[in-house]
């Protein structure tokens, strides 16, 4: 149950995206994290909180890149119309998943620990959700997109969101086909079991 609360707070951060320079990743995201925590703790009606949080972050995440990485080799075989349909369904699925988990949020805090540069083309913003009995590490992975940096993956307690989706989406695409994948993304049920 606590991990779902962590996912809700991460989802709050995962759902949004704006252009950001390398030097601004840590200070800007620290400010956005503080604002998101404030919204979560506020008396704002629960159904209004997602839109406020999406407005904070919708610009830092590269949903198209996340969709492409999640579908991996299957992405290249899609037609332009299928790519557009998949990108839209994938982003909507991420947002619905966040909204569902948001209701589990109680009173956690989140702090930015540091920014790391594992390579010239990668940055990792290390954050931590402070729970009542346990803390959870969340890493936001950035890549350069022109002069700006965008989030392309999130590791939640050491597990890559993209790798998790890649496994699930690949299984469904391989065994059941693209149309079934879109149907499952739109219904929030992804697993490959029938």
Inside any domain, residue 193: no
Residue range 39-94, pLDDT digits in tens: 888 888 888 888 888 888 888 999 999 999 999 999 999 999 999 999 999 998 98
Residue range 14-34, pLDDT digits in tens: 443 457 999 999 999 999 989
Inside any domain, residue 63: yes
Inside any domain, residue 70: yes
This model's pTM is above 0.85: no
For the chain, what is the domain count?
Answer: 1
Q: What is the pLDDT of residue 13?
A: 47
Q: For residue 131, what are its two tokens?
A: 């729970």
Q: What is the pLDDT of residue 1?
A: 45
Averaged pLDDT of the chain: 85
Inside any domain, residue 49: yes
Inside any domain, residue 107: yes
Domain extent for 50? 22-186
Inside any domain, residue 8: no
End-to-end CA distance of the chain: 26
User: Residue 98 belongs to a domain with what CATH number?
Assistant: 3.10.450.710
- Say which residues have a Cβ less than 8 Å from residue 163's Cβ, sequence separation at least 6: none
Tell me how far apart the alpha carbons of residues 96 and 130 are, in angstroms, rounded to a whole number.
24
Residue range 83-105, pLDDT digits in tens: 999 999 999 898 887 777 665 66
SS3 of residue 183 by DSSP: helix
Measuring CA to CA, how many Å separate 79 from each of 86, 116, 178, 179?
Answer: 10, 37, 11, 13
Inside any domain, residue 191: no
Q: What is the pLDDT of residue 12?
A: 47
Inside any domain, residue 121: yes
């Amino acid at each position: 149950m606590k991990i779902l609360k962590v996912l809700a707070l991460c989802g709050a951060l995962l759902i949004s995206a704006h252009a950001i320079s390398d030097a601004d990743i840590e200070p800007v995201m620290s400010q956005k994290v503080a604002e998101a925590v404030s919204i979560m703790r506020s008396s704002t009606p629960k159904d209004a909180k997602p839109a406020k949080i999406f407005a904070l972050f919708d610009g830092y995440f590269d949903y198209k890149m996340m969709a492409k990485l999640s579908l991996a080799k299957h992405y290249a075989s899609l037609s332009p119309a299928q790519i557009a349909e998949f990108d839209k369904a994938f982003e909507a699925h991420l947002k619905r998943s966040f909204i569902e988990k948001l209701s589990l949020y109680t009173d956690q805090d989140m702090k930015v620990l540091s920014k790391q540069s594992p390579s010239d083309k990668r940055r990792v913003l290390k954050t931590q959700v402070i729970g009542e009995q346990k803390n959870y590490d969340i890493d936001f992975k950035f890549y350069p997109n022109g002069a700006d940096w965008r989030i392309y993956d999130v590791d939640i307690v050491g597990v890559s969101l993209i790798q998790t989706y890649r496994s699930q989406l690949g299984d469904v695409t391989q065994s059941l086909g693209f149309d079934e994948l879109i149907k499952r993304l739109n219904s929030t049920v992804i697993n490959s079991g029938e």
